[in-house]
Structure formats: C-alpha cells, structure tokens
Amino acid sequence: MKFGGTSMATPDRIRRVAALIAAEAAAGKKLAVVVSAMAGKTNELVAWADVLGPSAQGVGSVDDEADVVVASGEQVTSGLLAIALRSQGLRARSWMGWQIPILTDDSHGRARIVDIPGEKLGAAIDTGEIAIVPGFQGVTSDGRITTLGRGGSDTSAVAVAAALKAACDIYTDVDGVYTTDPRIEPKARRMPKISYEEMLEMASLGAKVLQTRSVELAMAHRVPVRVLSSFVETLAGPDEGTLICDEDEIVEKRIVSGVAMSRDEAKITLFGVPDRIGVTADVFMRLADAKLNIDMIVQSNARQADRTNLIFTVGRRDAAAAEKLMRDAQDAIGFEEIRVDQDVCKVSVVGVGMKSHAGVARTMFEALAEKGISLQAISTSEIKISVLIHQDYAELAVRALHGAYGLDAAA
C-alpha cells in the first residue's frame, strides 16, 4: 500500500490511513506500507536547502546534503504512521531506506534504485508485523542518504513490492485512471484495467496519476499496480480503482483505451532551411547535444523550391533554450527565420488494440476535421497517435475523440 502527501498531511489523516491499513490487515493480508512526506513539507525543506545553497562559484555540489535534509520528511510520516497503527492495537514498525536497505546509485536528488534486498523486510512481515517504509529515500552502497526525485515515492512503492514479490496498491487523490480527464469530459469513465504500455503513454502524455519511472519499474518486474482513492473509509472492493497489469490479463481489449492531452508543448518553426542533405540531422544533433528533447517533427515545402520549412516541438520549459540555440546557429544552419508558438497543445489516443486494427488514424482525423480542427503535426507509435493543434481547440478535440472511439459513459 502506498499513501501520498495529501493522505499524510495531518495527524488526523494519518489516523484515517491507519484505519484503512487495519482493515486490510484484518482481511488477513501481509502488508508493507510506503508513505510520502506531509503535503507541502518537501517543498519547505527544499526551499531551506536552496536558500543556503551555493551562490559562490567553484563550490561543489550540495545535492548529497540536500538529500539528508529532504529525506527527513518521509522519516517523520513513517514513524507517525507506525505509532498510529500501534495505537489501533496492530504490530508495526518503520524501516528507513538505510535499514532495509533501499540501495541506489549516488545521483543525489534523482537517484535510481539499484537493489532492495527483501529478506529482512520480508521476514519481519511474515511474523505479522506491518512494515512502514518512507518513500522517496534510499541509501548509497557507502551509506549516504539519497532521494529519488519528485514523485519518487510511487517508484519506492513499486520497487518494495517487486522486492517482496507483492502487488502494489497506490492510494491517491483520484479513484483510478480515466479514459480522459473528467474535468474536460464529464463522460470519461474509470478504466478497470490498463496495460503497462498504455499507462506509460498516458503518463508521459500528461495524465499525472503515476510517475513514469514507477510504471516502467512495474512493467519490468511485472508488479500488478492498482490505483485507488484514499478518500474512502472502507476497504476497497476488487473492482475499485484501476489495475495496471500485463496486456494479456486484459480480456476485453478496446482499440483505443484513452485520450490524453498535454499543454506542455511549444512549436518551433525554422523557415527557409536550405534543402540539402544533412541539414535536418545537423539541426537535431545540436538540440540533442544540448539535451533538449524533440517530440514531433514535420518538414514542409517553403516558398522557394530549394528551401524547406522545418517544424518541431519541445517541452514548453525548453522553448527559450531551443530558440537561443537555433538563433546562435542561424548562419551555420542557413535558415531564414525562426518562430516559436506556445499556443499549441498535443492530443493523443492510446490503446494496445491499435496494433491489430487498421483505420484508427482515419477515425481520429475525421473526427477532428468534422469539428474544423486543423492538424499542425502528427506523430505515432505502436499504441499511440498524437496530433498537435491550436490550444483553443484542446477540450473540443478531447471530447470529439472520446466520443468517436466509443469511450463515452452511458448516459
């Protein structure tokens, strides 16, 4: 079981989480529980570390010590939850990252889990004791505290489940994964099941239910992950939430499982790029060297015959860096003009059923054309089709596609 910062925000909420755990324990389950810090606490700790951080040049990294500071947030909640469980008459104890240990590499602030020896933890759980594990934190092989980066507690939970060969229930502030954002399309439905691959695409496309890395880890270790609402008082039934699992376990496959939308996009157009071999490669090598991730790419005819227009998208926060990089290389690349558009968004349909069905793209383009929405770029993967459109049409496009693929809930 994993509980996020909202669930752990106050002693009262921690007591409610303890009651939920007690119900699972009463059902005869052996349990490990991964917890986040109190909501807001991590930000406070990071702010303190930042304000004291190096302003002078030539000072080495302070990320290792920032980890010491920030990891304390989950230490507090895991101790408090153990206390709350004992108050309800249950056996429980906390296990810090260094006690288990949750071994990571030494990339402080964004460490990756290397190994979790599950023996000690598993032996304690086998005696009927509930193990409370602080999320987000680990320890290097030479005993320094690390943290996994934002959202790392989901990754901790999946990794601990993998080490214990257990399933993982992630309690969060939504009651599952939806066919699309219910705030945009009220007819969105909760999916009872979704495959790891689909969830990865949904997560990377802006459906912020789970951290992408945690889904990758679950897929690699075949950990069944269930997303559940923590705003319930009673035990979750088997049909609640959304189970993220192997494609094989999903009997009723839909061609399209969900519609995702992301506003974190910027479109950069290079006008009048000389139409010679290697120029496109040159542009994208420069961007790659600067660690700027390119998503969609379109080449279109320019006004002159020997020139072309090159369109690509980057994350919105990378737009300024990409623009500067291009302007600095304008002479070398030889383009005539650059334009950056931030008023775009990306809408995607995702589904493992696409692999075996033709006509998925056609349905998409027709549905969008019918609403008068023009496509600025298109990209596809085996289980996903994405289009770049003007952001004013974002919600309209999501609703149109949700209906076109038969995802609307029955009225």
Task: Using CB under 8 A, pick the residue from 29, 30, 93, 112 that binds a copy of itself.
Answer: 93
Q: How far is the CB of 171 from a copy of itself (least distance, A)?
A: 19
Kindly state whether residue 62 participates in binding a copy of itself, applying the rule CB under 8 A. yes
- Paired strand residues for 349: 259, 385
**How is residue 299 written in tokens?**
């080449």
**Edge-to-edge, what's the strand order for the sheet holding 137-139?**
113-115, 103-104, 137-139, 145-147
Instruction: Tell me the per-residue interface mask from 119 to 158 with a copy of itself, x by CB under 8 A, - otherwise.
Output: ------------------------x-x-------------
**How is residue 258 written in tokens?**
């969900």
Kindly state whether residue 72 participates in binding a copy of itself, applying the rule CB under 8 A. yes
Residue pair 41/17 in contact (Cβ under 8 Å)? The answer is no
407 contacts: CB under 8 Å, gap ≥ 6: 179, 180, 187, 188, 189, 254, 256, 258, 259
Kindly state whether residue 114 participates in binding a copy of itself, applying the rule CB under 8 A. no
Kindly state whether residue 283 participates in binding a copy of itself, applying the rule CB under 8 A. no
Task: Using CB under 8 A, pick the residue from 34, 66, 188, 377 that binds a copy of itself.
Answer: 66
Q: How far is the CB of 163 from a copy of itself (least distance, A)?
A: 18
Instruction: Tell me the per-residue interface mask from 300 to 329 with a copy of itself, x by CB under 8 A, - otherwise.
Output: ------------------------------
Task: Using CB under 8 A, pick the residue from 22, 31, 46, 84 that binds a copy of itself.
Answer: 84
Residue pair 147/68 in contact (Cβ under 8 Å)? The answer is no
Q: How far is the CB of 74 from a copy of itself (least distance, A)?
A: 9
| Pick 29 or 144: Cβ nearer a copy of itself | 144
| Pick 10 or 293: Cβ nearer a copy of itself | 10
Kindly state whether residue 89 participates in binding a copy of itself, applying the rule CB under 8 A. yes
Kindly state whether residue 96 participates in binding a copy of itself, applying the rule CB under 8 A. yes
Helix or strand run (H / E) with residue 269: strand 266-274
- Report the 10 Å Cβ neighbour count for 238: 8
Instruction: Tell me the per-residue interface mask from 37 to 56 with a copy of itself, x by CB under 8 A, - otherwise.
Output: --------x--xx-xxxxxx
DSSP state of 7: T
Q: How far is the CB of 95 from a copy of itself (least distance, A)?
A: 10
Residue pair 111/83 in contact (Cβ under 8 Å)? The answer is no
Stretch that binds a copy of itself, among 27-35, 67-75, 111-119, 153-161 (CB under 8 A): 67-75
The candidate with the shortest Cα–Cα distance to 349, out of 262, 284, 267, 256, is 256
77 contacts: CB under 8 Å, gap ≥ 6: 8, 14, 35, 36, 37, 38, 134
- Collapsing DSSP to helix, strand or coil, 190 comes out as strand
Kindly state whether residue 231 participates in binding a copy of itself, applying the rule CB under 8 A. no
Task: Using CB under 8 A, pick the residue from 75, 212, 229, 376 that binds a copy of itself.
Answer: 75
How many positions of this chain bind a copy of itself (CB under 8 A)? Answer: 44
- What's the rounded Cα separation, in Å, for the pair 65 and 289? 30
Amino acid sitting at position 334: G
| Pick 27 or 56: Cβ nearer a copy of itself | 56
* Residue with token string 């139409």: 275
- What's the rounded Cα separation, in Å, for the pair 177 and 169? 13
Summarize as ranges the residues that interact with a copy of itself (CB under 8 A).
11, 14-15, 45, 48-49, 51-56, 58-60, 62, 64-69, 71-73, 75-76, 78-80, 82-84, 86-89, 93-94, 96, 98-99, 143, 145
